[in-house]
């Protein structure tokens, strides 16, 4: 039995609170001295949103650096029609496997968790391979895996689909809902955006490589840093970004070099493109972005649940509810400024995906950024609920 | 075993011969004590106490057996711990069983054996029991409902009104192990782990603290469903004062931390079944800590924070030195990929 | 959008392997990290290894940080 104590010492050093505190001081000093006292940056990735909030980084940099959350929350950007379709599938005789993240997302007629409570076969999977293994041993059930997530997740789903083909399974399919990060960044930068630099998703970058994000500097002149997820990783990235801004530099820097290579993971990319192809996709809150989603290629579309099953869903409109998730995802609105925030929209009674997703910007603010008795984060300027 | 097929049948619940046999051959030999063995309709007990503590709880867990425990042990320890948390000395338990038609009698026997062992460990007796059989599918194998009775001496009553600003917060050991052990034991996630539930009766440890540091304990709760964060929020609200927890002091074992990282779970919100969060008189906090650490169930006890005047909220001071407010858990955590 | 954790490879058989994190063991897909063998550290996301972790790069990053944090570091 290998010793447990200290096994992860090297990686855990990226959690060192002393180093983190030193970086906070450095960043604050530079922002005050060289950036006019304040700067706004976007952290694209939902996992960063949670890490930044939970570790207290957002609070520690308050008034110096405003970190707005971007569209990198796959649950948040799944359109309600897709959620409804997934729920509708679960209500038939199909066994639905999903990542836990999707369980509580409300469509227009309930969530997967709610439909499971009514007797539907919905199972949380840690890995898409689990769904394939299940299908192989439960041949009388039709199994569908809800394929949500970005480029970090899609290669694994491709592996699972490949395995299903290898095994000759006729009872396994996926509901394809993957989305791609670079097209979403382009869509943001082609429109209105109020940020001066980007914290880029470290694990998506592990797959796609620094090269796939170089366009942010080459075409849009933005500074951007690829960041890991430990507190020190995030602060190093913010420190680099503020340094680049102070020197007026554009560039895409890899600050997660222990995991991210220039070309990314070529094998993972090949697996992804072997069975998927880019398709136009609707991002909740951002609308239609061309070539920003993944669909199954013609040779693989027997595994597309939308072809195999007839799923009847009404098109949904969430503008009527007053939900401002779209503006939040564009970094144009901080969650506390949404009129519904903490009043009618809470994690227990969510109105939109940014509140229900465990990594949604609104959920992160609600859970981690509330400081005082009127329930509004300090410095956010939003009136508290009355 | 003289039961046809070795399984529970609906007929075992009808009050006739099979019920009689189930009780005398399966339940009584395992749970038996002088009171229960009288087989009366009610247990008659004599108590000498200034005050009596009384609690009830129901236990549902899947799978029934997991590393470190099972539904039977959970039922006894959970009830004992509820009584212990108010400062009472637990004495007597009742146990009502809902058995699923088709339950393997050998499984039932093991659950009862485990209850007997847990009861002996805690120094309590199961003095009343009842069993019903329900149709296949109505319950998951077996559900157990308990009630518990304990006694309090003067000065032993714990409660939120005793808390003072400046009091310290103490956690009796590392967090998250019970819930993680159950999640892993379900087998849905294809993960093997050495993690074991911490399910244990706390009355021995708490009794020692009360004997060696009289008056030190003010208010305590065990962080079961919802975890330490939820209990801290509830306790702070009950006192009307603010609780501050220091992230770097909170004990989480290596195993638990690794599993939480893998599954995207927050150890502050995971259920424990053998730990407590106590508000302790500041002057005696170090002594209480020493008593805990010398006890097998308190080896990784730690002082994790303090009580301050405020409005009844709980806060976490992060390793970075910032403060964020803790919330009640809204729904159980699912493993995440994001 | 992605939780991925460093785990150590225990054994490898073909494209699958057993990895360990603390006392937890799981079987993960190693298709995307053909170079990873027993003793190596990989990043695992949803049961799939997506990268081999470069210990040397990690040490260099940390060393750079220590320089920055040293008195007089800018």
The answer, yes or no, to whether residue A115 has pLDDT greater than 80, is yes
Question: To 5 degrees, how large is the angle CA A77–CA A78–CA A83?
Answer: 150
ipTM rounded to 2 decimals = 0.94
Q: Which residues contact B96 (CB under 8 A, 6 or more apart)?
A: B129, B130, B131, B132, B144, B145, B146
Q: Is A149 on the interface with B (CB under 8 A)?
A: yes
Determine whether the interchain pair A258/C61 forms a contact, defined as Cβ–Cβ distance below 8 Å.
yes
Determine whether the interchain pair A21/B321 forms a contact, defined as Cβ–Cβ distance below 8 Å.
yes
Nearest residue on chain C to B190, alpha-carbon basis: C26
* Residue B332 resides in a domain: no
Determine whether the interchain pair B257/C23 forms a contact, defined as Cβ–Cβ distance below 8 Å.
no
Regarding whether B274 and B185 lie in a shared domain, the answer is yes
Hey, which chains touch A, using 3+ CB pairs under 8 Å? Answer: B, C
| CA-to-CA separations, B214 to B209, B234, B306, in angstroms, rounded | 7, 25, 20
Determine whether the interchain pair A17/B264 forms a contact, defined as Cβ–Cβ distance below 8 Å.
no
- The domain ranges of chain A are 80-180+266-308
Query: Residue A185 is encoded by which pair of tokens?
Result: 């960044």
* Contact list, A14 vs chain C (CB under 8 Å): 58, 62
The single-letter DSSP state of residue A319 is G
Determine whether the interchain pair A22/C20 forms a contact, defined as Cβ–Cβ distance below 8 Å.
no
Domain harbouring B92, CATH code: 3.30.1330.10
* Contact list, B313 vs chain A (CB under 8 Å): 373
Determine whether the interchain pair C25/B257 forms a contact, defined as Cβ–Cβ distance below 8 Å.
no
Distance in angstroms between the alpha carbons of the first and the last residue of chain A: 58
Q: Which residues contact A71 (CB under 8 A, 6 or more apart)?
A: A44, A77, A184, A188, A283, A285, A286, A329, A330
| CA-to-CA separations, B19 to A324, B3, B16, B108, B138, in angstroms, rounded | 61, 11, 5, 14, 19
- Contact (Cβ atoms closer than 8 angstroms) between residue C44 and residue C7: yes
Would you place residue C53 in the very low, low, confident or very high pLDDT band (cuts 50, 70, 90)? very high
- Contact (Cβ atoms closer than 8 angstroms) between residue B236 and residue B242: yes
Q: B53: which strand partners? A: B150
The answer, yes or no, to whether residue A372 has pLDDT greater than 80, is no
Say how many domains are in chain B.
Answer: 2
Nearest residue on chain C to B189, alpha-carbon basis: C26
For chains A and C, CB pairs below 8 A equal: 123
- Contact (Cβ atoms closer than 8 angstroms) between residue A53 and residue A367: yes
- Going by C-alpha positions, the residue among A9, A30, A197, A67 that lies closest to residue C68 is A30
Neighbouring C-alpha atoms within 13 Å toward the C-beta of B1: 17
| CA-to-CA separations, A6 to A11, A292, C21, C36, in angstroms, rounded | 10, 42, 11, 22
Determine whether the interchain pair C22/B257 forms a contact, defined as Cβ–Cβ distance below 8 Å.
yes
The answer, yes or no, to whether residue A276 has pLDDT greater than 70, is yes
Nearest residue on chain C to A1, alpha-carbon basis: C23
The answer, yes or no, to whether residue A316 has pLDDT greater than 90, is no
Nearest residue on chain C to B257, alpha-carbon basis: C22
- Contact (Cβ atoms closer than 8 angstroms) between residue B94 and residue B218: no
Regarding whether B32 and B180 lie in a shared domain, the answer is no
- Contact (Cβ atoms closer than 8 angstroms) between residue B172 and residue B248: no
pTM: 0.89
- Going by C-alpha positions, the residue among A116, A59, A129 that lies closest to residue A86 is A116
Regarding whether B239 and B144 lie in a shared domain, the answer is no
**Number of Cβ atoms within 10 Å of the Cβ of B331:** 10
Regarding whether B87 and B104 lie in a shared domain, the answer is yes
Regarding whether B284 and B245 lie in a shared domain, the answer is yes
Over chain A, what is the mean pLDDT?
A: 88
- The alpha carbon of A339 is separated from its chain's Cα centroid by a whole number of angstroms, namely 24
What is chain B's pLDDT, residue by residue, as a tens digit (338 residues)? 445 568 898 888 888 888 888 888 999 999 888 888 888 888 999 888 889 999 999 999 999 999 999 999 999 999 999 999 999 999 999 999 999 999 999 999 999 999 999 999 999 999 999 999 999 988 889 999 999 999 998 878 899 999 999 999 999 999 999 999 999 999 877 788 999 999 999 999 999 999 999 999 999 999 999 999 999 999 999 999 999 999 999 999 989 998 998 888 999 999 999 999 999 999 999 999 999 999 999 999 999 999 999 999 999 999 888 888 898 887 678 888 88
Regarding whether B290 and B165 lie in a shared domain, the answer is yes
What is the spatial distance between Cα A47 and Cα B125, in angstroms, rounded to a whole number? Answer: 49
Regarding whether B173 and B125 lie in a shared domain, the answer is no
Give the burial class of B252: count Cβ atoms within 10 A of its Cβ; 0-12 exposed, 13-18 middle, 19 or more buried.
Answer: middle
* Residue B334 resides in a domain: no
pLDDT (tens digit per residue) in C8-51? 999 999 999 999 987 789 999 999 999 999 999 999 999 999 99
Q: Is C6 on the interface with A (CB under 8 A)?
A: yes
What is the spatial distance between Cα B320 and Cα A17, in angstroms, rounded to a whole number? Answer: 6
Q: B192: which strand partners? A: C25
Nearest to A104 among B321, B331, B335 (CB): B331
Q: Is A30 on the interface with B (CB under 8 A)?
A: no
Collapse the DSSP code of B185 into the 3-class scheme (helix H, G, I; strand E, B; otherwise coil) and give the result: helix
Q: Is A130 on the interface with B (CB under 8 A)?
A: yes
- Contact (Cβ atoms closer than 8 angstroms) between residue B255 and residue B196: no
Q: Which residues contact B277 (CB under 8 A, 6 or more apart)?
A: B169, B170, B171, B172, B220, B221, B222, B223, B228, B231, B232, B235
Nearest residue on chain C to B194, alpha-carbon basis: C23
Nearest to C22 among B184, B254, B338 (CB): B254
Nearest to B336 among A60, A358, A367 (CB): A358
What is the spatial distance between Cα B91 and Cα A251, in angstroms, rounded to a whole number? Answer: 70
Q: For the stretch A141-158, what's the b/e string if a residue is b when 16 or more beta carbons lie within 10 angstroms of its beta carbon?
A: ebbbbbbbbbbbbbbbbb
Query: Residue B203 is encoded by which pair of tokens?
Result: 């009355």
Determine whether the interchain pair C1/A4 forms a contact, defined as Cβ–Cβ distance below 8 Å.
no
Hey, which chains touch B, using 3+ CB pairs under 8 Å? Answer: A, C
* Contact list, B338 vs chain C (CB under 8 Å): 1-3
Q: What CATH architecture applies to the domain A80-180+266-308?
A: 3-Layer(aba) Sandwich (3.40)
The answer to whether domain C5-69 has CATH 3.30.70.1350 is no
What is the spatial distance between Cα A185 and Cα A212, in angstroms, rounded to a whole number? Answer: 12
What is the spatial distance between Cα C22 and Cα B337, in angstroms, rounded to a whole number? Answer: 19
* Residue B331 resides in a domain: no
State residue A371's pLDDT score.
59
- The domain ranges of chain C are 5-69
Q: Chain C: give the shortest CA distance to residue A233, in Å.
A: 10
Q: Chain B: give the shortest CA distance to residue A262, in Å.
A: 23
Regarding whether B140 and B182 lie in a shared domain, the answer is no
pLDDT (tens digit per residue) in A240-264? 999 999 999 999 999 999 999 999 9
Q: Per-residue DSSP letters for B192-207? A: E----------HHHHH
Mean pLDDT of A138-149: 96
- Contact (Cβ atoms closer than 8 angstroms) between residue A322 and residue A333: no
pLDDT (tens digit per residue) in A126-136? 999 999 999 99
Query: Residue A81 is encoded by which pair of tokens?
Result: 């029609």
Q: Which helix (H) or strand (E) holds A131?
A: helix A128-137
Regarding whether B301 and B179 lie in a shared domain, the answer is yes
The values of phi and psi at residue A373, to 5°, are -65, -20
What is the spatial distance between Cα B262 and Cα A358, in angstroms, rounded to a whole number? Answer: 16
Helix then strand then coil, % of chain C, to nearest 5: 20, 40, 40
Q: Chain C: give the shortest CA distance to residue A331, in Å.
A: 16
Q: If you search the block for the tokens 């002594």, which residue do you land on?
A: B287
pLDDT (tens digit per residue) in A233-245? 999 999 999 999 9
What is the spatial distance between Cα A318 and Cα A58, in angstroms, rounded to a whole number? Answer: 29
Q: Provide the total of helices (H) and of strands (E) in chain B, helices listed first.
A: 10, 14
Dmax (CA) of chain B = 67
Q: Is C38 on the interface with A (CB under 8 A)?
A: no
* Residue B204 resides in a domain: yes
Give the burial class of A277: count Cβ atoms within 10 A of its Cβ; 0-12 exposed, 13-18 middle, 19 or more buried.
Answer: middle
Regarding whether B217 and B129 lie in a shared domain, the answer is no
pLDDT (tens digit per residue) in A289-299? 999 999 999 99
Regarding whether B204 and B77 lie in a shared domain, the answer is no
Q: Is C18 on the interface with A (CB under 8 A)?
A: no
Determine whether the interchain pair A45/C1 forms a contact, defined as Cβ–Cβ distance below 8 Å.
yes
Rg (C-alpha) for chain A, rounded Å, is: 21
Would you place residue A376 in the very low, low, confident or very high pLDDT band (cuts 50, 70, 90)? very low
* Residue B112 resides in a domain: yes
Q: A67: which strand partners? A: A41
* Residue B338 resides in a domain: no
Residues of B with CB under 8 A from a CB of A: 188-191, 248, 254-255, 258, 263-264, 266, 311, 313, 318-325, 327, 330-331, 333-338
State residue B58's pLDDT score.
95
- Contact (Cβ atoms closer than 8 angstroms) between residue A361 and residue A284: no
Q: B94: which strand partners? A: B128, B147
Q: Is A231 on the interface with B (CB under 8 A)?
A: yes
Neighbouring C-alpha atoms within 13 Å toward the C-beta of B337: 33
**Domain that residue B186 falls in:** 160-325
For chains A and B, CB pairs below 8 A equal: 105
Regarding whether B141 and B47 lie in a shared domain, the answer is yes
State residue C65's pLDDT score.
86
* Contact list, A126 vs chain B (CB under 8 Å): 188-191, 263, 335, 337
The answer, yes or no, to whether residue A373 has pLDDT greater than 50, is no
Determine whether the interchain pair C1/A73 forms a contact, defined as Cβ–Cβ distance below 8 Å.
yes
The values of phi and psi at residue A72, to 5°, are -85, 40
Q: If you search the block for the tokens 């499971």, which residue do you land on?
A: A116
The answer, yes or no, to whether residue A318 has pLDDT greater than 80, is no
- Contact (Cβ atoms closer than 8 angstroms) between residue A354 and residue A72: no
Collapse the DSSP code of A266 into the 3-class scheme (helix H, G, I; strand E, B; otherwise coil) and give the result: helix
Q: If you search the block for the tokens 């509004």, which residue do you land on?
A: A376
């Amino acid at each position: 039995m290998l010793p447990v104590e200290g096994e992860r010492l090297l990686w855990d050093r990226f959690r060192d609170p002393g180093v983190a505190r030193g970086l906070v001081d450095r960043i604050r000093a530079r922002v005050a001295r060289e950036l006019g006292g304040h700067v706004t940056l976007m952290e694209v990735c939902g996992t960063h949103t949670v890490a930044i909030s939970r570790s207290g980084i957002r609070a520690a940099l308050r008034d110096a650096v405003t970190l707005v959350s971007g569209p990198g929350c796959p649950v948040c950007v799944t359109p309600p029609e897709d959620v409804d379709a997934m729920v509708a599938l679960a209500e038939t005789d199909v066994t639905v496997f999903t990542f836990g993240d999707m369980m509580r997302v409300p469509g227009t007629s309930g969530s997967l968790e709610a439909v499971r409570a009514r007797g539907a076969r919905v199972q949380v999977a840690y890995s898409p391979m689990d769904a394939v293994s299940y299908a192989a041993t439960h041949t009388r059930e039709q199994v569908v895996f809800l394929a949500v997530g970005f480029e970090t997740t899609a290669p694994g789903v491709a592996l699972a689909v490949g395995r299903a083909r290898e095994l000759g399974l006729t009872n396994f399919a996926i509901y394809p809902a993957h989305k791609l990060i670079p097209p979403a960044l382009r869509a943001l930068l082609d429109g209105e955006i109020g940020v001066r630099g980007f914290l880029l998703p470290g694990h998506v970058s592990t797959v796609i490589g620094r090269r796939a994000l170089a366009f942010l500097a080459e075409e849009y002149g933005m500074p951007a840093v690829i960041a890991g997820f430990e507190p020190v990783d995030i602060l190093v990235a913010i420190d680099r970004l503020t340094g680049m801004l102070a020197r007026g530099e554009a560039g895409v820097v890899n600050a997660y070099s222990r995991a991210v290579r220039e070309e990314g993971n070529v094998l993972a990319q090949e697996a992804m493109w072997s069975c998927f192809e880019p398709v136009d996709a609707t991002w909740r809150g951002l609308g239609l972005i061309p070539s920003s989603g993944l669909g199954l290629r013609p040779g693989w579309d027997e595994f597309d649940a939308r072809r195999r099953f007839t799923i009847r869903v009404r098109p949904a409109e969430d503008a009527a509810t007053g939900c401002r998730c779209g503006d939040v995802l564009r970094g144009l609105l901080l969650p506390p400024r949404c009129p519904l925030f903490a009043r009618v929209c809470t994690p227990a009674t969510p109105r939109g995906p940014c509140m229900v997703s465990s990594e949604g910007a609104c959920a992160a603010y609600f859970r981690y950024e509330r400081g005082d008795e009127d329930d509004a984060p300090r410095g956010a300027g939003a009136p508290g609920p009355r | 075993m003289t039961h046809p097929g070795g399984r529970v049948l609906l007929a075992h619940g009808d009050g006739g011969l099979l019920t009689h046999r189930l009780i005398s051959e399966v339940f009584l030999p395992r749970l038996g004590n002088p009171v229960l063995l009288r087989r009366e309709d009610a247990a008659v007990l004599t108590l000498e106490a200034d005050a009596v503590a009384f609690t009830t709880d129901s236990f549902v867990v899947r799978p029934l057996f997991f590393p470190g425990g099972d539904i039977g042990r959970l039922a006894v320890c959970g009830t004992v711990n509820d009584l212990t948390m108010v400062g009472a000395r637990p004495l007597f338990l009742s146990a009502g069983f809902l058995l699923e038609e088709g339950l393997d009698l050998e499984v039932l026997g093991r659950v009862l054996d485990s209850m007997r062992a847990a009861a002996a460990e805690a120094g309590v007796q199961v003095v009343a029991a009842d069993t019903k059989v329900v149709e296949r599918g109505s319950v998951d194998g077996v559900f157990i409902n308990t009630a518990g009775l304990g006694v309090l001496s003067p000065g032993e009553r714990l409660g939120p009104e005793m808390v003072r600003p400046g009091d310290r917060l103490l956690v009796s050991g590392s967090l998250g192990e019970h819930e993680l052990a159950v999640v892993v034991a379900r087998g849905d996630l294809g993960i093997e782990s050495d993690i074991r539930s911490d399910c244990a009766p706390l009355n021995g440890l708490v009794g020692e603290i009360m004997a060696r540091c009289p008056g030190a304990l003010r208010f305590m709760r065990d962080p079961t469903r919802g975890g330490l964060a939820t209990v801290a929020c509830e306790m702070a609200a009950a006192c009307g004062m603010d609780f501050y927890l220091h992230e770097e002091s909170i004990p989480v074992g290596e195993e638990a931390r690794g599993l939480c990282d893998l599954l995207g779970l927050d150890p502050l919100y995971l259920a424990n079944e053998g730990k407590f969060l106590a508000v302790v008189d500041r002057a005696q906090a170090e002594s209480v800590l020493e008593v805990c650490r010398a006890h097998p169930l308190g080896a990784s006890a730690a002082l994790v924070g303090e009580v301050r005047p405020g409005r009844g909220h709980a806060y976490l001071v992060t390793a970075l030195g910032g403060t964020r407010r803790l919330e009640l858990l809204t729904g159980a955590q699912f493993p995440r990929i994001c | 959008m992605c939780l991925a954790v460093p785990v150590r490879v225990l054994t490898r058989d073909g494209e699958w392997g057993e990895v360990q994190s603390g006392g937890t063991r799981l079987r993960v897909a190693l298709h995307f990290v053909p170079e990873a063998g027993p003793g190596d550290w990989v990043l695992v996301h949803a049961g799939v290894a997506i990268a081999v972790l470069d210990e040397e790069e990690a040490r260099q990053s940390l060393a750079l940080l220590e320089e920055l944090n040293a008195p007089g570091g800018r």
